[in-house]
């Protein structure tokens, strides 16, 4: 009974909100990996009304974009079987494939029954067979789910295809601009605007459970930090001190926000307890201290500071104490974000040639520059640590890009109109 109620509520709510189509979105692989594993996702056989989502394309794009796989283009396939007994593995061996997947999707009056099989091409072994059901408008989600299953089966790591991202877009409107905070699937599809304003919106940050987003809005002509619950749209202002209210970051337990305030002089890092609204000041002095983020265990806070003259990253105990400098290469290292396991740190690194995304291995402190742009910003890790999402400006157009943490693979999510910035990958 309980279950049935929940399903009905879900169905009704889903019906009320139409899913925006990402009509203006193109996904382009800008740098491919040489060592990727070849895999063929055969177009799924279709029965009934399916709409315009092609599952095999979504899965191929997910797996190809991960850097671990190279998806065989459909045009190169010699046969397109959809049932296990019809697969001739020699057809796939001659194409140099290691793995292949086949499937079927049956449209069933608003819902879809999907099944798929994954094979090792070399020995014909069935690695995985699944049947699943997706509701209306959920075919892309189902495809991402299949991508996750295949990815985890073959790499041993959890996939991150069925995740979401938040980002800020802006479009010209009259003499000014309209800023929109949007949440979309990790591949940029199904964008939804969760807040908009003619004044800037900045710095979206996810709560650890993915239910809320903290962000900065200037809609009162001053900066203010808001926390908005995604399910209800309900939002509240949590920080509106004089001066800067910026750079919110949820603590791993979700109870506090690390923020930047300048009410006491220069920009400093504070911790705001969301329950009691009490503030703890963590940094002081004349320097710029900003862009705080928590280590995944909650014990430390990393932030950007120019206390040494140029912006560099520093780490300090979350309860206060002495900060120690973390970055030493280059004269600009800012906006650090940890991977979920805390082993890697993504940052914006600047030197003569511009601003690029780099990842530091925390154990060895070695830094690997991942990107080649000159205006790359706002890195954030995929929940599984395999990719870094960032905002890039290439040829005067801003776009979101994803790069694998080894730098081998880069994929661009381009939006047709307006600017898109400040992406944040949901936990």
Partner 1 sequence: MRFNKTYLALAMTAILVTTGCSSTEEEGLADSSTQGTDASTSGYNDGSMSGSQFGSGNGSSFGSGSGANLGPEFSDPNNPLSKQVIYFEIDSSQVKQEYVPVVAAHARYLASHPNQHVILSGHADERGSSEYNIALGEQRSKSVERMMRSQGVTASQLEVVSYGEEKPVVSGHDESAWQQNRRVEVGYQ
Determine which helix (DSSP H) or strand (DSSP E) holds 165, and give its type and residue range.
Answer: strand 164-173
Distance CA 368, CA 164 (A): 26
67 close to 409: Cβ distance less than 8 angstroms: yes
Cβ 355 to partner 1, closest distance in Å?
Answer: 6
CA distances to 36, 46, 58, 67, 151 from 42, in Å: 18, 12, 12, 19, 16
Q: What is the rounded distance in angstroms from the CA atom of residue 391 to the CA atom of residue 373? A: 10
Q: Which residues contact 410 (CB under 8 A, 6 or more apart)?
A: 29, 30, 31, 371, 401, 402, 403, 404
Judged by CB under 8 A, the residue of 32, 38, 200, 296 near partner 1 is 200
In angstroms and rounded to an integer, the radius of gyration of the C-alpha atoms of the chain is: 23
* Least distance in angstroms from the C-beta of 393 to partner 1: 6
Could you give the maximum distance between any two Cα atoms of the chain, in Å? 72
3-class state of residue 92 by DSSP:
helix
Q: Which residues of 344-376 are buried (b: 16+ CB within 10 A; e: fewer)?
A: bbbbbbbeeeebbbbbbebeeeebebbbbbeeb
Q: Does 192 bind partner 1 (CB under 8 A)?
A: yes
The CA distances from residue 166 to 27, 143, 230, 274, 412, in Å, are 17, 21, 11, 21, 16
- CB atoms closer than 10 angstroms to residue 324: 9
| 70 versus 301: smaller Cβ distance to partner 1 | 301
In the bound state with partner 1, the residue whose beta carbon lies nearer, of 53 and 203, is 203
**Smallest separation, CB 87 to partner 1 (Å):** 13
What residues from 248 to 287 belong to the interface with partner 1 (CB under 8 A)? 260, 262, 266-267
Q: Which stretch binds partner 1 (CB under 8 A): 67-75, 122-130, 277-285, 316-324?
A: 122-130
141 binds partner 1 (CB under 8 A): yes
Half-sphere CA count of 46, side-chain side, radius 13 A: 12
Query: Measured between alpha carbons, how far is 253 from 345 in angstroms, rounded to an integer?
Result: 20
Is there binding between residue 353 and partner 1 (CB under 8 A)?
A: no
Identify whether the C-beta of residue 387 lies closer than 8 Å to the C-beta of residue 48.
no
Question: Is residue 166 within the footprint of partner 1 (CB under 8 A)?
Answer: no
Residue 346 found at the interface with partner 1 (CB under 8 A): no
Binds partner 1 by CB under 8 A, chosen from 195, 272, 414, 420: 195
The least distance separating partner 1 from the CB of residue 199, rounded to whole angstroms, comes to: 7
Q: How many residues bind partner 1 (CB under 8 A)?
A: 100
Is 131 among the residues that bind partner 1 (CB under 8 A)? yes
Q: Which of residues 396-425 bind partner 1 (CB under 8 A)?
A: 396, 421-422
Site for partner 1 in 29-68 (CB under 8 A): none
CB 360 within 8 A of CB 381: no
For partner 1, the closer of residues 33 and 357 by Cβ is 357
Quickly count: other Cβ atoms within 10 Å of residue 275's Cβ: 8
Minimum Å distance from CB 32 to partner 1?
26
Q: Which stretch binds partner 1 (CB under 8 A): 85-93, 98-106, 197-205, 322-330?
A: 197-205
Closest CA to 347 of 314, 372, 375, 380: 380
Q: Binding of partner 1 at residue 210 (CB under 8 A)?
A: yes
Enumerate residues 355-384 that contact partner 1 by CB under 8 A: 355, 375, 377-378, 383
Q: Which stretch binds partner 1 (CB under 8 A): 47-55, 66-74, 224-232, 358-366?
A: 224-232
Asked if residue 426 binds partner 1 (CB under 8 A), the reply is yes
Give 84 or 321: the residue with its C-beta nearer to partner 1.
84
**Judged by CB under 8 A, does residue 183 bind partner 1?**
yes
Q: Which of residues 304-323 bind partner 1 (CB under 8 A)?
A: 304, 310-311
> What is the spatial distance between Cα 138 and Cα 401, in angstroms, rounded to a whole number?
24
Instruction: Copy the structure tokens of residue 406.
Output: 């080894």
Query: Least CB distance from residue 27 to partner 1, whole Å?
Result: 18
Question: To the nearest whole angstrom, how small is the minimum distance from the Cβ of residue 53 to partner 1?
Answer: 14
Least distance to partner 1 from the beta carbon of 400, Å?
14
Query: Mapping DSSP to helix (H, G, I), strand (E, B) and coil, where does residue 283 land?
Result: coil
Q: Does residue 14 belong to the site contacting partner 1 (CB under 8 A)?
A: yes
From the list 86-94, 128-136, 294-302, 360-368, the region that binds partner 1 by CB under 8 A is 128-136
Q: Looking at beta carbons only, is 33 or 287 nearer to partner 1? A: 287
For position 187 contacting partner 1 by CB under 8 A, the verdict is no
Nearest approach in angstroms of CB 34 to partner 1 is: 29
């Amino acid at each position: 009974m309980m279950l049935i109620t929940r399903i009905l509520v879900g169905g009704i709510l889903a019906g009320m909100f139409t899913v925006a189509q990402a009509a203006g979105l193109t996904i382009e692989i800008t740098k491919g990996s040489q060592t990727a594993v070849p895999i063929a996702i055969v177009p799924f056989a279709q029965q009934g009304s399916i709409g315009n989502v092609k599952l095999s394309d979504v899965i191929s794009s997910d797996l190809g974009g991960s850097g671990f796989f190279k998806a065989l283009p459909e045009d190169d396939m010699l046969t397109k079987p959809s049932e296990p007994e019809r697969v001739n593995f020699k057809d796939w061996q001659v194409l140099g494939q290691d793995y292949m997947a086949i499937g079927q999707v049956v449209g069933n009056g608003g819902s879809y029954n999907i099944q798929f099989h994954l094979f090792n091409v070399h020995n014909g072994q069935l690695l995985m067979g699944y049947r699943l059901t997706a509701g209306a408008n959920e075919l892309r989600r189902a495809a991402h789910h299949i991508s996750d299953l295949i990815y985890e089966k073959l790499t041993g790591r959890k996939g991150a295809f069925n995740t979401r991202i938040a980002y800020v877009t802006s479009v010209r409107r009259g003499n000014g601009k309209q800023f929109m905070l949007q949440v979309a699937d990790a591949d940029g599809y199904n964008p939804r605007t969760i807040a908009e304003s003619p004044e800037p919106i900045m710095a979206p940050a996810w709560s650890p459970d993915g239910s809320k987003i903290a962000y900065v809005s200037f809609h009162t002509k001053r900066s203010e930090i808001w926390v908005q619950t995604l399910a209800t749209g309900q939002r509240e202002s949590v920080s509106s001190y004089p001066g800067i209210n910026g750079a919110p970051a949820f603590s791993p337990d979700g109870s506090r926000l690390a923020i930047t305030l300048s009410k006491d002089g220069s920009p400093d890092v504070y911790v705001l307890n969301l329950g009691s609204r009490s503030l703890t000041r963590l940094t002081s002095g004349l320097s710029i201290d900003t862009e705080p983020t928590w280590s995944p265990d909650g014990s430390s806070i990393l932030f950007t500071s120019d206390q040494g003259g140029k912006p560099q990253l520093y780490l300090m105990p979350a309860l206060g104490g002495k900060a120690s400098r973390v970055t030493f290469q280059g004269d600009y290292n800012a906006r650090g974000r940890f991977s979920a396991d805390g082993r890697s740190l993504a940052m914006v690194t600047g030197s003569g040639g511009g601003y690029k995304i780099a990842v530091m291995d925390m154990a060895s402190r070695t830094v690997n520059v991942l990107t080649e742009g000159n205006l790359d910003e706002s890195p954030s890790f995929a929940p599984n640590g395999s990719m870094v999402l960032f905002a890039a400006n290439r040829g005067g157009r801003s776009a979101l890009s994803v790069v694998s943490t080894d730098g081998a693979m880069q994929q661009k999510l381009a939006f047709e109109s307006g600017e898109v910035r400040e992406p944040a990958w949901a936990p």
